[in-house]
A and B are shown apart, each in its own frame.
Chain A
């Protein structure tokens, strides 16, 4: 039982929220994670090690087993299709993947263009809709694409809709609701089963809606 559990977390608000959940589940974590220049922070009393990663990379770390478990958005899991267990919906940082664009009728085009950070999700979605589009991958400022005529629509994460509104875009279709999920490496899931089952159990107790 004295094994360390290594946890990959996305930087920022999700990390704070996930750490709060673990504290609520009675894991003795420091009140203030001062990562500072440190990349890895240990919480020896809880038997946990944390490291921060780009949200898009969390599933990759977990798939390769350098982290036993991780917290990743459903958007990342859909886009990356990594071989990891998605064991628990943490119900934090709720948002959704949506198609958005400029208001008004759409012009007929040879190949309608869609800009996104989620090329796999977008490709899959429009295939399912039976619509031919050209997917353009961008790494940020997706809202810019329709404004300057790179694409007529975008596929992106929407939380409040404020960013869309400020840029004069409207939401056209909802693709999928997104929350952060607890993911587990398939080997850790078997080799450290007791510790991980306990973490899942304790977290699921305190998550609203009582997911078991």
Chain B
């Protein structure tokens, strides 16, 4: 193999070419408009943050961070997520703003890749609702996600949501606290149900308790399933979590979006980051989740402000792929006005008029083109203003 070409990019980095860029812009604007109509305000934060603060508070595993050093020798990270930067902003620049805050962002995130070909930089559109601990906040976030998806034209998608509090309470009831709880959660996080069941079978607990833990794996479905879940637990924490799930479901029904929803009480998106309702969304057209989110009440207090938080993040690259099958009217129309020197004024005037009517117009001196046929073929309309006087 030869050495990298001068135009080769670092692993996991991608160029976005005009066609895809414009499609991305279009989808972003559809989402952004909906988010704006729901009263969310967009902000931007720097790509570099201190490792000691934002890097350490981030939910992303240390090994996946891009780290570098500033001139003072302090370690920096390329932001791996936006929740930690937003928690920082909410606790500093926005610390006097009354809660709840409704914030949105659209930005690139950086995570080192595990497998070849997976992006190390990807765009995420997200919202955060800071300082509202009611279930209506959890419901609003999911309803907004669904509403934004609908605006993009996405069909055949689902959201599955669960409650980390239920799982924690069930584990605490059955195996107390400590290593066993962590091990059980890790199996679920790694989606290793075979390992989970084996581990449960070896635990020094009654057959009844083993059964309770195994039942967790099948707690999926609609609100009817919650009754089954109630039979498995007795602690106030577990019952409260189930009550919250029911209430969130009711909120979602009032938004008229429950037909998109599933309840899934064994969703584990992260070992110890989320504190309440968690959710993930899936589209029929793609093998990877399109968006995820949930409640993370312990993050903002780490930055010194007592505030709960919930939010979602949409992986724009995946959403675009999922939308790829949708036929849409092309907005790729571009007009070319070819002119020669003596008719430049006419060409400029004509372009101005066309642009005022919303057309995309390129004016190009004919002498500046090397291959006329190749160049004109990239336009949908070609107008020639060459030689002689205007006809």
Contacts and interface: CB of A to CB of B under 8 A. Distances in A.
Given A85-B191, A190-B264, A191-B284, 15 more contacts: A63-B287, A65-B286, A81-B114, A83-B191, A86-B191, A86-B192, A86-B195, A88-B194, A185-B287, A186-B287, A190-B280, A190-B282, A191-B156, A191-B283, A197-B218
B262 A190 contact: yes
Nearest to A82: B115
B230 to A, nearest CB: 21
Interface in A145-199: 181, 185-188, 190-191, 193, 197
A66 B195 contact: no
B114 A191 contact: no
Interface in B235-282: 262, 264, 280, 282
Main secondary structure of the interface of B (DSSP, over half): mixed
Contacts of B194: 86-89, 181, 211
Nearest to A64: B287
Contact of A65 (B192, B280, B287): B287
A190 B289 CA distance: 10
Contact of A87 (B193, B262, B288): B193
- Give the interface size class of chain B: 20 to 34
Given A86-B192, A88-B194, A193 B287 contact: no
Contacts of A193: 220, 262
A89 B288 CA distance: 24
A83 B268 CA distance: 13
A64 B220 CA distance: 23
A84 interface: yes
B193 A187 contact: no
A137 interface: no
B193 A188 contact: no
B197 A65 contact: no
Contacts of B264: 190
B214 interface: yes
A124 to B, nearest CB: 14
Contacts of B365: none
A212 interface: yes
A190 B158 contact: yes
A89 B194 CA distance: 6
Contacts of A84: 191
Interface in B153-212: 156, 158, 160, 191-195, 197
Interface of B: 114, 156, 158, 160, 191-195, 197, 214, 218, 220, 262, 264, 280, 282-284, 286-289
Contacts of B286: 65, 187
Interface in A82-124: 83-89
B287 A66 contact: yes
Given A81-B114, A212-B214, A187 B289 contact: yes
Contacts of B197: 211-212
Contacts of B288: 64-65, 186-187
Contacts, number: 56
- Give the interface size class of chain A: 20 to 34
A64 to B, nearest CB: 5
Contacts of A212: 197, 214
A85 B193 CA distance: 7
28 contacts: A63-B287, A64-B288, A65-B287, A66-B287, A81-B114, A83-B191, A84-B191, A85-B193, A86-B192, A86-B193, A86-B194, A86-B195, A87-B194, A88-B194, A186-B191, A186-B282, A186-B287, A186-B288, A186-B289, A187-B282, A187-B284, A187-B286, A190-B280, A190-B282, A191-B282, A191-B284, A197-B218, A197-B220
A87 B218 CA distance: 11
Nearest to A179: B194
Most buried by B among A81, A87, A185, A197: A87
A65 B322 CA distance: 12
A197 B160 CA distance: 16
Contacts of A187: 282-284, 286-289
Contacts of A65: 286-288
**Which 5 residue pairs spanning A and B have beta carbons closest together?**
A65-B287, A187-B282, A85-B191, A86-B192, A89-B194
A188 B197 CA distance: 22
A158 B74 CA distance: 50
Interface in A60-85: 63-66, 81, 83-85
A34 B172 CA distance: 52
A146 to B, nearest CB: 30
A127 B83 CA distance: 34
Most buried by B among A191, A193, A211: A191
Nearest to B281: A190
Nearest to B192: A86
B287 A188 contact: yes
A86 B187 CA distance: 10
Contacts of A66: 287
B315 to A, nearest CB: 13
Interface string A133-151: 0000000000000000000
Nearest to A83: B191
A127 to B, nearest CB: 14
B196 to A, nearest CB: 9
A81 to B, nearest CB: 7
Nearest to A212: B214
A91 B329 CA distance: 52
A187 B197 CA distance: 22
